[in-house]
Amino acid sequence: MSEAPHLTFDSDMPGVSRGHLVVPGGADRGELSLPVFSLNRGEGPRLLVTGGNHGNELEGPLVARRLIEWLPEAQTCGRVIVLPMLNPLAVQAWSRNTPLDGLNLNRVFPGRAGGSVTERIADAVSRILLPMADTVFDLHSFGPTWDFPPAATTHPIADLDLMARTVRMAEAFKLPLTLVWEYNDTVGMFDIVAQNQGKVFVCAEFGGGTVGADNLAIYEAGVRNALIALGLVEGKAEYPTFRQQKSGQTLETHPSDELKSPAPGIFEPRASVLDEVKQGDLIGILHPMDSLSVESIDIRAPGTAIVFAIRSGGHVGVNEWVAAVARPLRLECH
């Protein structure tokens, strides 16, 4: 390898800087330059905003671009660094993983300097950008085959004080859903690396992953609300309107809250996201399509809960998720 990862500008310079994070080349390809924006207004919170961690989630890069447009007039203190595309190779391919090495960037943190390109991106971000921030917003989308409300999410964190601060930060987005999400496949996530360093990390999951004007406006409002809560910009935080409602709720979900498909087929939703359901309520119907003498199968709520994700597209296989539910968060120290 020729050189170490680095920024092409001095982020300690006051005011606006635009440049690149240089990810060194390796055996699989040459160096990669990721565009970076930095605005340094001195003392105050230090925030890193990233998008394009997964390449088929395009709201994040667009909201990051918008943020860069209005931040120079709005930011009154502190330092904000914006990296709209963590993984440009995946974004250009509209692919969750990097085509070149097949890796999911959000499972290889903190990366490896001598690894493949995805691992080198994670290494450069972990070593150069992460130490410059106390708070990180990573802007994702839930995916194009799902109905999912705009949400600010985190995972359970062993450090209960960091957990409480993270949930408060997520709630400050004032999105329809704040979700504490327990799931098993968390090794190598950007979140975990940042949280292990004591940083507040909020993962925004911005709906469907197919870009629309209404959704983008909600997402941008959420990020602006969070910047107001941090004290980086002035203004009044307000709940954006989502499906005629202006409100938010904080929920928790566990692996057992995933409703799985009992057979291959097409899932027909019979509930909408944020619907309250009771045990036995119909959430959807799975229609096996390979034989018309096989009955369709009702998918029913396992108990009192709120539907937060529901499959809205794509033929499903056996044991794939078709919906997920959650319940109000109970956090001892909250």
Which spans of this chain sit near Zn ion (rule: CB under 5 A)?
54, 57, 140
CB 139 within 8 A of CB 202: no
- Burial class of residue 213 (count of CB atoms within 10 Å of its CB; 0-12, 13-18, 19+): exposed
Dist CA 312 CA 197 (whole Å): 37
φ/ψ of 251, rounded to 5, equals: -125, 165
Cα-trace Rg, the chain: 20
Shortest distance in whole angstroms from residue 265 CB to Zn ion: 26
State which amino acid sits at residue 295: E
Of the two residues 66 and 107, which places its CB atom closer to Zn ion in the complex? 107
CB 48 within 8 A of CB 37: no
Give Cβ neighbours of residue 262 (< 8 Å, ≥ 6 apart): 286, 297, 318, 319
Of the two residues 46 and 54, which places its CB atom closer to Zn ion in the complex? 54
Shortest distance in whole angstroms from residue 95 CB to Zn ion: 12
Shortest distance in whole angstroms from residue 202 CB to Zn ion: 13
Of the two residues 91 and 228, which places its CB atom closer to Zn ion in the complex? 91
The residue whose two tokens read 């995946």 is 90
Shortest distance in whole angstroms from residue 18 CB to Zn ion: 25
Of the two residues 104 and 312, which places its CB atom closer to Zn ion in the complex? 104
Of the two residues 103 and 301, which places its CB atom closer to Zn ion in the complex? 103
Shortest distance in whole angstroms from residue 189 CB to Zn ion: 10
